[in-house]
């Protein structure tokens, strides 16, 4: 809940989400649905007014100031949408990647080596000496990913990392996040308003009005006969711990459901029937 003067803005309510170590998931939702609020909480930038948030060993509602600093330095990497916000313009790509390791006291030689490895991983071995102004938007986001990974955080958070990029460059950055997830086993949560991203990660969770509403799962099935691989994305509604589900707007409109529904169970299926005004 954000408090602005006398007003309270409830940004998240009834959000339930559990992410396994090593997973890569997308959080999708319209503008204002609470995506950034969730990510800022997970990054340790904001403390929620209530609820429970755990990341690894950390209880994000009960941390001392020192724990918050340690948490931000070693547990999470963060990538902002604004490419310019991720990098220091007067440092080279290599220096930008080294900087977080300076803060955690990694010796110069080790830090140089790791920075070079990370820039190789993101495909920028040949651009290490370039400053921000000499890098394209996509390249800047690649460097930003390397910066976020500098201290080997188990969790990587990206808030609309492709929001300022064209489609092709966006796809390449998403591919890179998938590569990082596979090769470094980093848990990744990527926020986007682009539903197409759902099909490029293992699982996509939709947020509506600050609440987890649906989950899209990617099913990969192999067609032996032709040796090809097809992908299906199946969408599920999420049931929270109190039994609530959010009925999608499109279904509400189609059935003209008002304030009440009759609930039935038929042949193992739950049915909802308009119950009048």
Q: Which residues bind ligand ADP (CB under 6 A)?
A: 2, 4, 9, 11, 29, 31-37
Choose the stretch contacting Mg ion; rule: CB under 5 A; options: 5-13, 32-40, 99-107, 201-209.
Answer: 32-40
Instruction: Give the DSSP per-residue string, 176-231.
Output: HHHHHHHHH--EEEEEES-GGGGGGSSEEEEEETTEEEEEEEEEEEEETTTTEEEE
What's the CA gap between 53 and 62, in Å, rounded?
A: 9
Candidates 30-38, 72-80, 137-145, 207-215; binding stretch for Mg ion (CB under 5 A): 30-38
Residue ranges in 43-149 assigned as alpha helix (H): 65-70, 83-86, 93-103, 108-121, 137-148
Residue 205 CB, nearest approach to ligand ADP (Å): 13
Rounded Cα–Cα distance for residues 97 and 144 (Å) = 8
Q: Which is nearer to ligand ADP, 37 or 200 (CB)?
A: 37
Return the number of the residue (37 or 181) whose C-beta is nearest ligand ADP: 37
- Measured distance CA(94)–CA(99) in Å, rounded: 9
Q: Residues near 45 by Cβ (< 8 Å), separated by ≥ 6? A: 72
Q: Does residue 33 touch Mg ion according to CB under 5 A? A: no
Which residue blocks in 104-186 are alpha helix, DSSP H? 108-121, 137-148, 167-184
Cα gap 111→97, rounded to integer Å: 9
Work out how close the CB of 47 gets to ligand ADP at its nearest, in angstroms, rounded to a whole number: 13
Contact segment (CB under 5 A) with Mg ion among 28-36, 70-78, 192-200, 266-274 equals 28-36
> Should residue 36 be labelled a site residue for Mg ion when binding is judged by CB under 5 A?
yes
CB closer to ligand ADP out of 8 and 166: 8
Position closest to Mg ion via CB: 36
Closest contact distance (angstroms) between CB of 9 and Mg ion is 14
Partner that binds at residue 222, options Mg ion, ligand ADP, none, CB closer than 5 to 8 Å by kind: none
* Number of residues written out for the chain: 277
Which is nearer to ligand ADP, 135 or 206 (by Cβ)? Answer: 206
Residue among 36 and 83 whose Cβ is closer to Mg ion: 36
Strands 203-208, 155-159: pairing is unpaired
119 or 190: CB nearest ligand ADP: 190
Binding site for Mg ion (CB under 5 A): 36
């Amino acid at each position: 809940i954000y408090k602005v003067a006398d007003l309270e803005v409830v940004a998240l309510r009834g959000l339930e989400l559990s992410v396994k170590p090593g997973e890569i998931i997308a959080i999708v939702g319209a503008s204002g649905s609470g995506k950034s609020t969730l990510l800022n909480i997970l990054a340790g930038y904001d403390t929620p007014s209530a609820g429970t948030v755990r990341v690894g060993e950390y209880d994000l509602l009960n941390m001392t100031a020192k724990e918050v600093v340690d948490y931000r330095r070693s547990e999470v990497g963060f990538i902002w949408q604004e490419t310019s916000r991720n990098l220091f313009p007067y440092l080279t790509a290599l220096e930008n990647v080294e900087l977080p390791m300076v803060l955690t006291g990694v010796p110069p030689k080790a830090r140089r080596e790791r920075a070079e490895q990370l820039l190789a991983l993101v495909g920028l071995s040949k651009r290490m000496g370039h400053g921000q102004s000499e890098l394209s938007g996509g390249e800047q986001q690649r460097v930003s990913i390397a910066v976020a990974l500098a201290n080997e955080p188990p969790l990587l958070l990206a808030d609309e990392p492709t929001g300022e990029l064209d489609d092709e460059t966006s796809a390449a950055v998403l591919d890179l996040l998938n590569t990082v997830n596979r090769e470094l086993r980093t848990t990744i949560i990527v926020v986007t308003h682009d539903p197409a991203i759902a099909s490029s990660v293992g699982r996509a969770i939709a947020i509506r009005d600050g609440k987890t509403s649906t989950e899209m799962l990617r099913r990969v099935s192999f067609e032996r006969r032709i040796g090809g691989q097809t992908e299906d994305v199946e969408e599920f509604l999420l049931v929270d711990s109190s039994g609530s589900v959010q009925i999608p707007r499109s279904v509400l409109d189609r059935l003209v459901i008002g304030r009440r529904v009759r609930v039935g169970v038929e042949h193992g299926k739950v049915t909802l029937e308009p119950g009048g005004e």
